[in-house]
Structure 1
Amino acid sequence: MISVTAADLGIDMEDPSGHGLYKWLLASFLIGKRIRSSVAVEAYRNLVDRNGLDTPDKLARRSHRDLVRYLGQAGYARYDESTARRLHCLATRVSGELDSHLIALSNGGMDVSTFRRWLLGFEGVGPKTVEIFMREAAAVLERQSTKGSLR
């Protein structure tokens, strides 16, 4: 597996809106699947760069059919239906919960290990996805949890 970084995808992990963390979570979700890294990267670029799904709200508003098509264009053939469903669930839940979790980190109401457990609660997110995500997000999350302020 090729090691892909947030920088490789043009993701600003320090984006104060939290969208950098969302984009890296989305990329980690795709990269963490049993699929070639090049296909996962192409799927990320198709979703975010070409179709503008750069926030969880935008992804959550897309139809299942659109997500299946975007994944198929990237080379997902075998798991496009289940991945599309899980992506929609991920985006919907992240849309409603990510900001509050980042705020809880910044004000000391949550620690990084609790945040990690929260991620594992998403359907389709397993230890590999969390490992990939935390590889780059851990430092950002730690800084937010010790800063005392998110924005």
Structure 2
Amino acid sequence: MSEQINAGDLGLKLRKGDESSLFKWFLASFLFGKRIQQDIAKQTYEVIVEKHGRDTPRKLCNCTWQELVDMLGEGNYTRYDESTAERLLEMCKKLNEEYGGKVGAIFEASADRKELEKRLEQFKGIGPKTVEIFLREAGDVWA
């Protein structure tokens, strides 16, 4: 198995208040959290964020389901493309509606790490593995 891809591998430097990097890492963690090869998840992240510029919750939410399915296919993330497209739309919608489109607001609304993990797992499609991947690096931002 290959070494874990981290935020730095995607050109991200996670810092408190840097919503752009935090959202991109949240999106990447979502993709890495599925049972799919890391290089395919990384490639798909690059297709969505770099090639198509869907690098904010608002921009991602402005995609149609079919556009997301197509982007996932372009990144060879085809095993779960339809359900993943649906969950990505739900993720950005929840982020926009409940947290003002800010990943940092999830941290700020949480009293402690346990509550933070619980809030993250309330996003459809995010389970313990995705939370572990995301907090492996983003957790230190608020520590």
Judge same fold: TM > 0.5, yes or no: yes
Aligned residues between the structures: 141
**1:44-67 Cα shifts (integer Å, max 9, x gaps):** 000001111111111011100100
TM-score (norm 1): 0.84
In the alignment, the residues of structure 1 paired with residue 106 and residue 78 of structure 2 have an alpha-carbon distance, to the nearest angstrom, of 39
What pairs up with 1:1-151 in 2 under 5 angstroms? 1-2=1-2, 3-14=4-15, 16-99=17-100, 102-103=104-105, 105-106=107-108, 110-142=111-143
In the alignment, the residues of structure 2 paired with residue 114 and residue 102 of structure 1 have an alpha-carbon distance, to the nearest angstrom, of 14
Larger displacement relative to structure 2 (32-41 or 16-25)? 16-25
The 8 Å contact of residues 30 and 130 in structure 2, kept in 1 or not, is answered as yes
TM-score (norm 2): 0.89
The 8 Å contact of residues 16 and 141 in structure 2, kept in 1 or not, is answered as no
Which amino acid counterpart does residue 130 of structure 2 have in structure 1? T
Structure label with greater radius of gyration: 1
In the alignment, the residues of structure 1 paired with residue 80 and residue 130 of structure 2 have an alpha-carbon distance, to the nearest angstrom, of 16
Which amino acid counterpart does residue 102 of structure 1 have in structure 2? G
Percent identical among aligned pairs is 40
Which amino acid counterpart does residue 65 of structure 1 have in structure 2? Q
The answer for unaligned runs of 5 or more in structure 2 is none
Superposed CA RMSD in Å reads: 2.0
The answer for unaligned runs of 5 or more in structure 1 is 143-151
Match of 1:145 in 2: none
